Structure 1
Amino acid sequence: MTRIERLQRKLPSLYLDAFLVTDSKNIEYLTGFSLMQGDGILLISNHQAIVITDARYQLALAEYESKSVVGLITADYYGTLNELCQKMQIQVLGFEKSVSYQIYDLLDEIMVADLVPFANVIEKLRSVKDSAEIAKLKHAADLLSAGYQYVLKMIQPGMTERRVAAALDYWMKEHGATAASFPSIVASGPNAAKPHATVSARKIHSGDIVILDFGYYVDGYTADMTRTFAVGSIDPELRDVYQIVNNARQQVINHAHSGVRGDRLDRYGRSIIDEAGYGDEFNHGMGHGIGLAVHELPASYGPAAHGLKLEANQVITVEPGIYIPQLGGVRIEDDIVITHGEPQLLTKAPTELVVVGK
C-alpha cells in the first residue's frame, strides 16, 4: 500500500471527502515530489492525488514519474483548489492545522467546501519508518560519525568555534550531505554549559570541554548526533559528569522498545543523573523523533510524556546532558530505531571520552 493510499483509507473515519496538504515535508513524504515550502499544495481525495504548483516546477513535474499523482500548473493555487473541489463535489475538506493564519483566512474566504482542521495526521504516518527510510537514516548517521572523526583530527587549540563549524559544514557537504538540518553547535569551555549554544568567535583553549551537536540531510533524511570531547586535560568534575551522562544514555537505550511509555523511558536515564546530584543541571527532554525533519513525531519525551507510547520502527534520539554554569557541560546523543526487542543503534561513533591536543 502506498503512503497516499494509507491516507486515503483514513478519510472516511475522519468524515472527510478530501485532505489538503500544505506542509512541504508532508507533500514530499506522500508523493516523493520536492517543493520549497509555500511553492505548492497537494489535494488528496478518495481516488485522486493532485499536486498544484506553478510554472517554476513545470520541468520537474514533466520528469516526475507517478501513476497515482497528477500535477497541475497554475499561478493561483487556492483558486484552482476551490475550482477542483467544486468539480469533484468535495463538500468537507480537511486541512493541516499548521497553516499560517494568512492561508487559513484565504481558504475561509474563497472555499465553498466546509473546512475542518487536523493536527499531525500525516506526521503520525511519518513517525513509523519503512526499511528504505531507515536505510537513509543509517546513511546519514554514518556520515555524521565520519564527520565527528574528522573534527577530532583537525581541531586544535586556538581555533574558534565558528571555524570548526565552518570546516565541518564544508566536509559534510563534500562527502554527500545536502544541507544542515539545524545550525551546528560547537560549544567550548563555559559555552558548553548552554544546551543550545550558538557558534561564537570564542577560541578553543587547552583544558576546554567541547560539545559538538550537528545534523545533516542525506538523501532527504537527517540524523542528529552529539558528542562531547576534551581538548587537553579537563576539570576532574567534568570527567565524572561525562561518565554519568554516558551511563544515563546507555540505560535509556537498554530499555528502549516498542510499547514503553515516554516518561518511563526518560526515567531510566534521568534517575541516574538525579541520584548523582545533578538533576537540576539536566534541563531538557531525553530525546525526540527524527526523519524528514530533525524534530518530528514521536514528540520530545521527558518526565511529562505520559501519553507517548513508542512503536516499532520509530526513530528517536537519546540525548541526556548535564550543564554546570561557568564550568562547562556534557551531552551525548545517539539515534536509535525502536523494535520489539533490542533497539538498532544508528550512530556508531564511539561514546567514550576522547581527549585531543594532548
Structure 2
Amino acid sequence: MINMNQRIKKFQSTIKQLGLDGFMITNPFSLKYFVQFDGLAGDGCLAVTPDSLTLVTDARYQEELEARLPKSISLKITRDYYKIAKDALDDHQAKKIGFETSISFQLFQTLRNLFGDQLVPEDNLVEKQREVKDQQEIAALRKSTALASEGFNQLIKFIEIGQTERQVSNWLNNWMLDHGAEKSSFDTIVASGYRSALPHGAASNKQLALSDMVTVDFGYYVDGYTSDITRTFALGDPGEKLRRVYQVVHEAQKRMFDAIYPGANGQQVDAAGRDYITSQGLGDYYNHGSGHGIGLDIHEGPNFGPRWQSNISVENNVMTAEPGVYLPGLGGVRIEDDLLVTKDGNQRLTTAPRNLIILDN
C-alpha cells in the first residue's frame, strides 16, 4: 500500500520550514497524490498544517473515503468546501496560509474573501515534491512504460497502407485498454506523410500511403501513472532526406541520454540534443522543448528546454527525452522515451525499438 503518511509528513515539514501555518491544496493530481483517490477532481480540497491534514469533500465520496483514509487524515463532509477548510485551519491557529498559484482567478477570489491577507502564494510546492518519485510510484511507471512499449510493438504488426490515422489510433486505444491500461493521458497523435511535420498532429482521416513517415505519440495510465512515448517509422522507403533526418534525431536523443544525470539542468540536457541537430543544419526545424517529467500527470517537472536552466534533475525523477525535426510539407521525426534518473545517470524505461523501422507492406 502507498505510504500516504510519509508523503504527508514530508510536505508538512516543507511548509513548516517555509514558516507557513497551513496550506490549501486543490490541484486534482496533488489531491490524488496525498489521499490516493481518483474521484476528487474539482470536488474538494486539503487543508494542511504542520501537524494535521483535513480532507474536505461531499457525501458522494464519504463511504469509500472512510474505508480507505488513514487515521492521520481527518474527513469533513460538506458542499461548502473552502469555508470548512478554513474552519479546520482556524482550529489549529493557522495564520499564514499558503496556496497554489496555479488556481483559477475565481477560486483565488473565493479564498481571498475567506482568508484575506493571511494568504501566501507558493509556486509548485506540492508539484516539486511530486517530481521525485517514491518506490511505489516508480513501480507503477515501470508497468505503464512496459505496456506502452509492448503496445507499439503490437501496433506495427497491425499497420497497413490504406488505413486512416484514426483507425490506427482507435486500434491502439483498444489494445491498450484490453491489456491493462486504465485510460489515455492525452489524445493519441497519429500523423503520417506530410502531416508528420505537425508536432502535435491529431489523428485524422488521412490514409496511410507508401513512403509515408508515421509518427505515433501516446500515453496511458497503469496504476494511476502515465507513460509518454513517441515513435516514427516508415511505410516503405521514405527517401534519403527523411532517412537522414531520422538518423540525426536518433543521435540527438542518444546525446541527451548521456547528459541526463543528477545535477544536470534542463538547459544542458536540451543543448545536448539541440546543438547536435543545429550542427547538422536542422536547428530551425526543432521547435519545441526536449522533455518533461511524467507521473500522475502527463506533464510534470522538471523540464528540458532552452529556458530551463533552473530545472535540476535529481535521482528518481522520471523524465521524457523527445527531440524532433519537422520539415514542412515533407514530414517529420520525433523519438520519445521515458527515463528514470538514477544515482549514476539514467535508465530507459520504454524499450520499444529506437532504430528506423521500415515496414514492407
* Match among 164, 168, 172 for residue 164 of structure 1: 168
- Aligned partners of 1:165 and 1:199 also within 8 Å: yes
1:176 counterpart (155, 174, 180)? 180
Shift of 1:304: 2.4
Q: Which moved more, 1:240-249 or 1:66-75?
A: 66-75
Kindly state the Cα deviation for residue 350 of structure 1 after the two structures are TM-superposed: 0.8
Indicate yes or no: 2:355 matched with 1:352. yes
Deviations 1:43-85 (A, max 9, x none): 1112111110001101211221413112111111112122223
Q: Which moved more, 1:217-226 or 1:88-97?
A: 88-97
User: Which TM-score applies when normalising by structure 2?
Assistant: 0.96
* Aligned twin of 1:120: 124
Tell me, yes or no, if the aligned pair for 1:82 and 1:112 is still in contact at 8 Å.
no
Corresponding letter in the other structure for 1:336? L
For the residues of structure 2 that align with 1:91 and 1:343, how far apart are their CA atoms? 43
**1:320 and 2:323 matched:** yes
Residue 309 of structure 2 is matched in structure 1 by 306
Q: Map of 1:206-225 to 2, 5 A cutoff? A: 206-225=210-229
Unaligned runs of 5+ in 2: none
CA distance in 2, matches of 1:86, 1:292: 31
Counterpart contact for 1:158–1:203, Cα < 8 Å: yes
Q: Tell me the equivalent position of 1:247.
A: 251
Q: Which moved more, 1:341-350 or 1:61-70?
A: 61-70
Distance 1:66 1:293 in 2: 24
Q: 1:132-152 CA deviation, whole Å, 9 max, x = no partner? A: 211111110100011101210
Letter paired with 1:351: R
Distance in 1 (CA, whole Å) between partners of 2:152 and 2:234 is: 13
Three-state SS of the structure 2 residue aligned to 1:105 is helix
Deviation at 1:252, TM superposition (A): 0.8
% identity of equivalent residues: 42
* Alpha-carbon distance, 1:12 to partner: 2.5
Deviation at 1:113, TM superposition (A): 7.2
Between the aligned partners of 2:116 and 2:196, the Cα distance in structure 1 is: 54
SS in 2 for 1:11: helix
CA distance in structure 2 between the partners assigned to 1:2 and 1:139 by the alignment: 23
Task: Assess if the C-alpha contact under 8 Å between 2:12 and 2:50 holds in 1.
Answer: yes
3-state SS in 2 of match to 1:2 = helix
In the alignment, structure 1 segments of 5+ residues that lack a partner are none
Per-residue CA distance 1:257-284 (angstroms, 9 max, x = gap): 1111221221221122111110101111
Superposition CA RMSD, Å: 1.4
In 2 relative to 1, CA 5–282 (structure 1 residues): closer, same or farther, beyond 3 Å? same
Between 1:342-351 and 1:102-111, the stretch displaced more is 102-111
Shift of residue 215 of structure 1? 0.5
- Kept in 2, the 8 Å contact 1:4–1:31? The answer is no
2:65 alignment partner AA: L
Verify the 8 A CA contact 2:48 2:89 in the aligned structure 1: no
* Alpha-carbon distance change, 113 to 82 in structure 1, aligned in 2, over 3 angstroms: farther
TM-superposed deviation, 1:112: 6.2
Aligned length: 357
Q: Is the 8 A contact 2:185 2:220 kept in 1?
A: yes
Aligned to 2:345: 342
1:23 aligned to which of 21, 27, 30: 27
After superposition, residues 1-358 of structure 1 pair within 5 angstroms as 2-111=6-115, 114-299=118-303, 301-358=304-361
Closer, same or farther: CA 113–270 of 1 in aligned 2, 3 Å = closer
Report the CA distance shift for 1:113/1:55 in structure 2 as closer, same or farther (over 3 A).
farther
Distance 1:112 1:309 in 2: 35
Q: Distance in 1 between matches of 2:193 and 2:226?
A: 28
